[in-house]
Amino acid sequence: MDLGLFKAKASEAAGKAGFENWEIYARTGNTFSVRVNDQKLDEYKNSTFIGASFRGVKNGKMGYAYTEKLEEETVWELVSNAAENAILIDSKDPAILYPGSPEYPVCDSWSSAVENMSVEEKIALSFEMERRALAFDPRIVAADYCGMGDFGYEVSIANSYGLDISFRSNILYASLFVRAFENGKTKSVMKYWHGIDPGKFDIDELVENACGRAIRSLAATSVPTGAYPVVFTSKAAISFFNCFLAAFYAENAQKGFSLLKGKTGEQVAASIVNLRDDGICEASFGSQAFDSEGVPCFDKDVIKDGALVTLLYNMKSAAVEKVKSTGNGFKRGPSREVETLPVNLYMVPSDKPIEEAYGSYEKVLVVRSMMGLHSGANPVSGDFSLLVSEGELIEGKDSRPIEQLTIAGNFFQVLKDIEAIGNDLQFSIPEGAGTVGMPSFLAKGIKVSGEEA
């Protein structure tokens, strides 16, 4: 059924079911991916998804229901299920629906170039990527994961207040995971590219980066145990921050699960640190016009000159403190409940490459990738102990690859110990909300467990 007609039928059913106010949230889209191995097509996936959720206020309580069929016969079932849930629910949380905003940001995140790229082109590029990787150097013995994909989606929200908004986005990506082998030692490196312009995908750059780093890592050794200034490259910084994003969510602070509770206006990071969460951010390809509650996604400072400006709120957590939502209430899918997520959270880069900061230190440890990100990080306390799987030790003009070492410390202390920020801002692949971007940054005095002197 046409989504517009489905909304109209839902409105009619909601009135008959006695809902005072209601909302329809719909998400549709498509995902595609191919993977090649040994110049043969190893995996081919092409799927569509569709789903709609209904939530409404009845007798002061919010009822929810979900369907994967936008058909006329499912409308009444959807609404009646929500009505039953409203009776059964035992919650003191306020039943709030967003009436809408007079203005929403203009956000064009749909690429016709991605939409029109043929399956044959993606497969051919995947084969060529693998061929070039395996021909790069005899020590590259496998491209264990080599492929391309894209995904696109459209979100639509309508409610009884007259709100009727929609938004769509898509992205293209390429992934290459290579394995190098020499003298009984194996090293693997994963690299990816994403964007909305297929013409900007540079196979050679991706292959050279992945293969070159894998080969260089074959000579990796450990470092003496001690405290080092540590540079987190953009990729590593994204992974690192992702472990502790929950600390910036107001709902966690309200539950006592964030050490940032009550810190608004206080210095929580070095004065050079500026953290933003922007709704429209061209660098990320993850811009959003509104969140899953219909609240506009606007640009905002989270940390300004090291001081905490705001945590991130959805409507529920905002109501607790009687403040406005920051436009960070998102569903990971129509069947999921609203939670807090960033839109495009990023550290503002400097205008200088991070390498310019190396000269201030006798030794600098560069971290490119880490392991144990889930088990080795506590998002509440901020404590972490992470295995460095790839990086370098910089000593003056010399550098050597490193491995078999662990970095440990506290996330909140790292924020305060940041002494330099690079100009190489990069973002994670957007999958709706929750996109994180980071430049490289240098933090002093991080404990490193390596080889004993």
8 A C-beta contact, residue 64 and residue 82: yes
pLDDT for residue 103: 92
The runs of H, that is alpha helices, within 54-103 are 72-88
Calculate mean pLDDT across residues 390-400: 94
Q: What is the pLDDT of residues 407-421, one digit of tens each?
A: 999 999 999 999 999
The Cα–Cα gap between 26 and 3 comes to 8
8 A C-beta contact, residue 31 and residue 45: yes
Going by pLDDT thresholds of 50, 70 and 90, the confidence category of residue 48 is very high
pLDDT for residue 71: 85
Going by pLDDT thresholds of 50, 70 and 90, the confidence category of residue 152 is very high
First to last CA, the chain: 70
User: Lowest-confidence range among 95-109, 291-305, 395-409?
Assistant: 95-109
Predicted confidence (pLDDT) at residue 47 exceeds the cutoff of 90: yes
Annotate 399-427 with DSSP letters as a single string: EEEE-SEEEEEEHHHHHHTEEEE-S--EE
Predicted confidence (pLDDT) at residue 7 exceeds the cutoff of 90: no
| Tokens (6 digits) for 25 | 């949230």
The Cα–Cα gap between 82 and 17 comes to 9
CB neighbour burial string for 259-287, b if at least 16 within 10 angstroms, e if fewer: bbeeeeeeebbbeebbbbbbbbbeebbbb
Q: How far is CA 355 from the centre of its chain?
A: 26
Q: What is the pLDDT of residues 58-100, one digit of tens each?
A: 988 899 999 998 888 889 999 999 999 988 877 666 678 999 9
pLDDT for residue 89: 76
Predicted confidence (pLDDT) at residue 3 exceeds the cutoff of 90: no
Predicted confidence (pLDDT) at residue 246 exceeds the cutoff of 70: yes
Q: How far is CA 255 from the centre of its chain?
A: 23
Q: What percent of the chain has pLDDT over 70?
A: 99
Q: Over the chain, what is the mean pLDDT?
A: 94
Predicted confidence (pLDDT) at residue 179 exceeds the cutoff of 90: yes
Domain boundaries, the chain: 3-217, 226-449
The Cα–Cα gap between 211 and 205 comes to 10
Calculate mean pLDDT across residues 205-231: 96
DSSP 354: G
Give the CA distances from residue 338 to residues 64, 66, 97, 168, in Å, rounded to whole numbers and listed in that order.
11, 13, 12, 19
The Cα–Cα gap between 284 and 196 comes to 10
Which positions ≥6 away from 63 have C-beta within 8 Å?
19, 55, 56, 57, 81, 82, 83, 84, 85, 86, 87, 89
Going by pLDDT thresholds of 50, 70 and 90, the confidence category of residue 33 is very high
Calculate mean pLDDT across residues 167-187: 96
The runs of H, that is alpha helices, within 95-202 are 112-116, 119-136
To the nearest 10 degrees (0 to 180), the angle between helices 72-88 and 3-16 is: 40
What are residue 340's phi and psi, to 5 degrees? -95, 130
Going by pLDDT thresholds of 50, 70 and 90, the confidence category of residue 54 is very high
Task: Look up the CATH number of domain 3-217.
Answer: 3.30.2290.10
Number of residues assigned to the chain: 453
- 3-state helix/strand/coil string of 278-325: CCCCCCCCCCCCECCCCCECCCEEEEECCEECCCECCHHHHHHHCCCC
pLDDT for residue 138: 98
- Residue pointed to by tokens 């799987």: 389
User: Lowest-confidence range among 89-98, 213-222, 320-329?
Assistant: 89-98
Helix (H, G, I), strand (E, B) or coil at 394: strand
Which positions ≥6 away from 419 have C-beta within 8 Å?
229, 270, 272, 357, 442, 443, 444
| Tokens (6 digits) for 206 | 């991706």
